[in-house]
Each structure stands twice: as C-alpha cells, then as structure tokens.
Chain A
Amino acid sequence: MADEVFLKLKGIKKSFGGVHALNGVDLEIRRGEIHCLAGENGCGKSTLIKAISGVHRVDEGEIWIEGKLCNKMNPIDAINKGIQVIYQDFAVFPNLTVAENIALNGEVKNKTKLVNWKEIHRVAAEAMAQVGAEIDPDVKLEQLSVANKQMVAICRAIINDAKFLILDEPTTALTAREVEKLWTVVRALKEKGIAVMIVNHKLDEIYQIADRLTILRNGAYVSSGPIHEYDQARFTRDMTGRDISQEKYLPKASEEEIFRVENLSLPGAFKDVSFSVHKGDVLGLTGLLGSGRGEIGEALFGIEPAQSGHIYLNGQEITIKNVADAIHNKIGYVPEDRLTEGLFMDRSILDNTIATSIRKYFHGIKLDKAAMEEATDRWIREIGVVTPSSKPAVRTLSGGNAQKVVISKWLNTDPKLFILNGPTVGVDVGAKSEIHAILRELAQKGIGIIVISDDLPELLQNCNKIVVMRDGRVAAVVDNSIEQKELSDLLMGRAE
C-alpha cells in the first residue's frame, strides 16, 4: 500500500510562445510520501505544479493519476481527484473568519444556497483537529500571521478528501519555529496516507522532512531518488549543472574601513548589532526569517530606521532617519521584492535607471534628456543588460535583466555603500554569476557591499565575511572557509 503510486508523469512538455518551460519531465508520487521538488528559479517548478493541478494543459507527455490517464484535466477535475495546491499567496480571504476560510470552498462546491454556520464551525474544528492547529475560528484572516494563514490554507485543502497536497515554497516566509510546526503538520498528513509534495530548494530543510527528492533544471528532469542518496555535492551539481565552484571570493585583506555599525537596535526586530565592512569586502548578512536580517537592511536604508546605535560611513558618523537620509549619504538598496519594490514595470529601462538620480539631470530649468540617455546606455553596456535599447518597458525583461536594471539605478547614484537584499532571487544561472562578478568588481573599487540572503551556497561563494543573525542578534561572524553544514547549524542555533 505504501508503495502504491498516486501520480506518475512521463515526458511532460509545455511551451509558451516558443519558450520551453517544461521539456521532458518525469515524476512519480507515492501515497503517503513526502516528496521534495527542487530546482533553481526558472527551472519550471511552477509550470509543473500548474500542469498537475489542471491550470495548464500539457503539450506532450502523459499524466497518470491512480492508474488512469488524465491528460485533459481542468482545475475542478484535479480537485475532484484529490489534488490540492497551496500557492505562496494561499488564496485566502483576508476579510473573512478562519472558520469560513476553511469551510466556504466546500459549501461553494456543494452548491448550497444557504449558509449553515454550525456546519461551517464543525467542519473548521474538525479540519483544525486533524492537523493539530489551534486558531480562534472567529478571527478574521487579516489579523493572522503568515504561518497561521498557511495553516488555514492547509486545513481548507484537506477537508475536500485531499489525497495529494502540493506546497509551493511553504517555508519562505516562516520563522524557524514555524517551519518546525509546519513539518509536524506535514508528517501528520503523511500518517493519514496523504502524499505531500513540497517545492523547496534549501537542502537542510529538505533533509529534515523529505522521503524522496526530484530535481529539475531548465525545464527538464535531472534526477530522482530517496533522500539518503543525495549529499551536498550531488545536490548542488544536479541543481546547477556544475560542481561546487572553487573560485570563492578571497580579496586581499585591507585595513581601510568603509562602513561600520555599532550596537544598532530596533525593538522587535534586532538588538545590539555591530559589524564592519572593509575595502574589498563583500559582506554577507544571513539568518532565518525573523532573525532580523532583512530588517537591518531596511533600517540602514531608512525604511524602518533603527532607534539606537551608531552608523559610520568612511569614518564619519551618519544618522539615518528616513530614505532621503540614506540616499543623501550615498547608500543604495536593492529590495527583496523586485517586482513590487524595485521596479516600475510599465516604464522604460531609462526611466527605471534614472528614477533615483533624476535630480542630477535637472540643469537650469529643465531635465537634460540627452545626459539621461547617455548614462542609461552606459549602464546597459557596463552591467550587460540584454536589450536593444533603453526604451522597452522593464516588464519585457527577464528576471536577471530586470535585476540588473535595479542595480544600474543605484550605481547611477554613485553609492558608497550598496545593500542588496536577495540579489539573485528569481534570476537564472547565467545572470546570477554575472551579478556576482559585478559585486566583486564594485567591492574592489572600494564600494562597501552588503549582501542579505538565505542562499547559503551563494553567500559562501561570494562573501568573504558572513554575519549570522539569530533572534535579532549577531550570532557569529565567520569567513567563507567554513562548510555549508556548519553555517546552516549556526543559522539554526545548533552550534555556537
């Protein structure tokens, strides 16, 4: 029974306008197993989920569910066959109560006309008991934490006789403790014979939870097998197609200090944070979600400024109370969410590039358009944005190219300190290494670089110094000679 196959995919192909999103994917999900789907961004994971859940019709290949060929599913069919997907936004109603969010979909499906509140509360209580969640059923969803919203989404998914649950990157917005709790719930589902597929690319999390693993790369199947067959080296090789790069960033030691923070504190986010960036340094700042890593970046950029502590840039103490202060002091910040925080999607590359530095093109009474174009063209060349000109809207660019535009925007302000939060999230492999090269080059030029990331291989490869945050405090400062396992232990608090 345990080995019975629930879902089998063979040679799945799907393309959009000539681009192969999926190019021959095989996948096998057994009943009651926890299966991880791993791959770098843009490898086709989300397209695959949409194919399984009936959102996309596949071009080629076979989808077998419980021994039946089901190539022509729509989303409703998929749900009726017991397939439930929990996307990253959970698709919950912020304005409705927990109980309603759990039970309403079932009521819609049954085409009931009247609402039976007793029944809704009963269903919700039952679902929450099944996964062991304890949330007040009368609270509105907008008042819940991300982890609890996720619990509600899981509860909602399992009440409709789910046999196969897909979680799309479920841990990205969770703290360490919340992740532990999620795994408990997932294991409970497994006990009930529900197959769970988790999309994830963090190896240590995969080790914690998965029975088996499938890796995709560039829309194609790479390998699959029980989790114990994978070690660090094979995992990285299968994910990226390369062996672990040996060329770690090791700059010449320099005494010249560029940037230093002392005892920086923001109640509720981080406390007594001190570190320094020397010339040539690419400083990594890492930690789990809720450790304060992102908050430090936002504080240094003045979005949510620190309440106490000292900040020194090139030997001078500076104060940062808002974004204008940060920009005045020549601090640049690449935000975590490129699409909503970093870019004006409908505006041209030129507009995006000069968005922050536009004041310097205002000569006399009007903007110097020629100088703006000239600067943009220069950055397109130097950073290597692949585009025919500076006119296209940023919407038309790939993730990597769009990120290069965000970087150009800040380089055009001549920053002295450049903070990048998740600089290579959603960037394909090629552009990723180009961005890394740019950062190294900037560091050599004497610009202080801080990379905030939870991508440990990336940090170890590109940062010569790594500040590890835990529970709002600096847990350790290490160099990049340590192993990824050690670093991850530091992150989780399993080592000092």
Chain B
Amino acid sequence: MKTTKTTPAVPALKKKGLKPDTHITVLLSMMAFVLLLMAVLKPGSYFTISNLRSMIFQFPEYGVLSFGMMICMIAGGIDLSLVGIMNLSGVAAALIITNMGGTNASIVLGCAVALVVGAICGALNGFIIASLSIPAMLVTLCSLQLYTGLALAITGGPAINNMPDAFKNIANGSIGPIPYVLFIFIAVALGMAFIMNCTVFGNEIYFLGSNARAARYSGINTLRVTVMTHMLSGILGGISGILITSHLNSAKSSNGSTYTLLTLLIIVLGGVHPDGGKGKVMGVTLSVLLLQLIANAFTIMRAPDTFKTFVNGCLLVAALILDVVLEKRAAKKAAKS
C-alpha cells in the first residue's frame, strides 16, 4: 500500500527539479535565436560596442521595476501601482534636488527621499491589502490613481526638468565603457536573489504565495510579510524612479506608462506563476535581458515603438499559453506514472 502510493514521488521529483531549468533553457534558447537572427539580418549595426552600451542604458529602470512586480506576484498578489510609485518617487527626488540647488548633498537626500516615498507607498498598499483582505489587484489599481494624482498635484502639471549633471550621470554616465546603471541592476538582482533564497523573509514570501492560510497556521505573520513585500516592491519602484528621472532628465506623473504591461510580461515570461508561490530571480533576470534584446532588435530594424507594444502583448499571451501547455504536459506525465 505504502509503496504503491509513494512511487509517483520519484518522477515527480525529477520533474520538479527540471521545471525551472526547462524555463531557463527556453529563455536562453530564445535569446540565442534573437541573436542569431540579428547576426543574419543586421550583423553590422547590432553587434557593436555602442549598441551594446545603448541597450545597457535602457533596461535597468524597468528591470528593477520587474523585481518589484515579481515579489508581489510570488506572494500571491500583484502591484499595478508600481509605475505610480516610480513617478511619485522621481518627482519627490527631483523636487528636492532642484529646490536645494542641485548640490551633491541634495542629490543624496533626494535619492534617499525617493526610496522612503517608495517604501511608504508600498507599505500603504500592503497594509490595506492584508488588514482588510481586499484583492491586491483592486487596491493597487486604486492606489495607482492616488500616487499618479499626487505626483501630478506636486508638479502642478508640467515636468520637472533641468536636473544637475551629477544627477543625470547616475543613469547616463559610465565607468570606462560600462554604464553605472549596469552595476545598479546587477546589485539589485543579486540582492533580490539573496533575499528570495537565503533569508527567512524570502522563504516566507514563497510560503505566503503558496497557501496564505497554511502560512498563518505555520506561525507566519501574514500581515507583516504582506506589508514588507509591498514595501520592498515600493523601494524598488523608488530606485526605478531615480533611474528614469535621471535618464530622461525629467520627472512627471506620466513617465513609463507602458511599464506595467512590460513588467508583467517580463515576470510571466520569466516563469513567475500568476497564482503566486512560484518564480525565480534568475528567470526574471534572463527575461529582462531577452526583452531588451528583442526591443533593441526592433530599434535596429527601425520598427516603430508602438510595434514593440504590439509584439509584447503577443509575447505575453504566448508565454502564458506556453505555461499552460507545460503544466498540462506535466500533469499528464504525473497521471501516467
């Protein structure tokens, strides 16, 4: 009796071990495919140092944002207000820096304030979600309006421009040929990988997303974890706010409006499950890179920006369908053995 019931565990084990790997293999082969395609179509302009550099200048701002979306979704929720948090933080930073005359001290203070604003916004989201048990989708949809509105109210309409050079340098400068933002992105990715894999908090996020009720019965403080998750997501939104403000030399309430969709696409493509509980930093990182390769390929091919939006929508559907198909196949295999 016992042996017949537990034998399915063996193939299931192999599959579980392999599943994230298949996802990463798929991502890597898609990247290889894009590179190959470009090697055939536009070898001259794609594989150049300057093109590589231009790519690196672009992806960190939405890459960092994707990690925020990732942890919220792993925890079983979603954060649709991230772009609002990003812009509000950016506006707060810009306001402080321009009003204090653009000194180095003001830049440090501005960046710190951006992170704090992000943290507060995120914590507010998390608190409303967990304490009143309202679906995260609804809360963050509302708070997106709130944060965007606040950014608009602060600026009064027009963008805050004319940032000091030292601030612009954050997202536009480089050490030798390597842009600063690459280091920021790598640091965030490593930090996230560490949090998700090596800390109690990271594990609690996975537990919460797998089964919130069981998490409570296991002694996990679900309110605290939800608030902290959204707070971390908000802080990442704050970092993106600094990056995008520096990159565009402009802070306003309507920057990066396509990023919500883009980050969702990135994390779903990267193997984060929309129902929560599953997803890896590695997958999301590769997914960010893949999306940048594709976007850049379109730029080189002189396709309009809007075409990217179209393709991203198609890719999102394709990624979801791929997940469904993989899941069905796995279930079938499990049923057979």
Contact = CB atoms under 8 A, between A and B. Distances in A.
Contacts of A358: 200, 203-204
A347 interface: yes
A398 B200 contact: no
Contact of A348 (B16, B214, B218): B16
A364 B215 CA distance: 25
B13 A17 contact: no
B6 A345 contact: no
Nearest to B202: A367
Interface in A414-471: 428, 430-431
A324 B221 contact: yes
B335 interface: yes
Contacts of B211: 340, 343-345
A344 B210 contact: yes
Interface in A337-376: 340-348, 351, 355-356, 358-359, 362, 365-367
A15 to B, nearest CB: 11
B200 A359 contact: yes
A358 B221 CA distance: 13
A268 interface: no
B302 interface: no
5 closest pairs, A vs B, by CB?
Answer: A366-B198, A398-B5, A344-B210, A327-B219, A392-B9
Nearest to B210: A344
A391 B200 contact: no
Contacts of A342: 214, 217
Do most interface residues of chain B lie in helix, strand or loop, or is the interface mixed? helix
B114 to A, nearest CB: 26
Contacts of A333: 217
A70 interface: no
B12 A393 contact: yes
Interface string B1-31: 1111110111011001100000000000000
Given A340-B213, A341-B213, A344-B207, A367 B218 contact: no
Contact of A367 (B10, B198, B220, B221): B198
Q: Which one of B13, B278, B336 has the greatest number of beta carbons of chain A within 10 Å? A: B13
Interface residues of B, number: 39
Interface stretch (A156-164, A229-237, A381-389): A381-389
A386 B6 contact: yes
B127 interface: no
Contacts of A326: 219
Interface string B189-220: 00000100111100110110011011111111
Contacts of A344: 207, 210-211, 214-215, 277
B23 to A, nearest CB: 15
Contacts of B221: 323-324
Given A359-B200, A396-B9, A430 B1 contact: yes
9 contacts: A17-B336, A19-B5, A323-B219, A348-B16, A351-B203, A388-B9, A388-B13, A393-B16, A398-B2
A347 B210 contact: yes
Nearest to B337: A17
A340 B213 CA distance: 7
Contacts of A303: 216-217
A16 to B, nearest CB: 8
A323 B213 CA distance: 13
A413 to B, nearest CB: 8
B41 to A, nearest CB: 42
Contacts of B10: 388, 392
Nearest to B17: A391
Contacts of B2: 386, 398, 400, 430-431
Contact of B200 (A324, A345, A362): A362
A389 B335 CA distance: 20
A397 interface: yes
Contact of B4 (A18, A343, A388, A409): A18
Contact of B12 (A19, A366, A396, A401): A396
A308 to B, nearest CB: 24
A398 B206 contact: no
A386 B214 contact: no
A465 B207 CA distance: 36
A341 B217 contact: yes
Contacts of B206: 347, 351
Contact of B214 (A343, A359, A362, A428): A343
B9 A397 contact: yes
Contacts of B210: 344-347
Given A392-B10, A398-B2, A430-B2, 15 more contacts: A17-B335, A323-B217, A340-B211, A346-B210, A347-B207, A356-B219, A362-B199, A396-B6, A396-B8, A396-B13, A397-B6, A397-B9, A400-B2, A401-B6, A431-B2
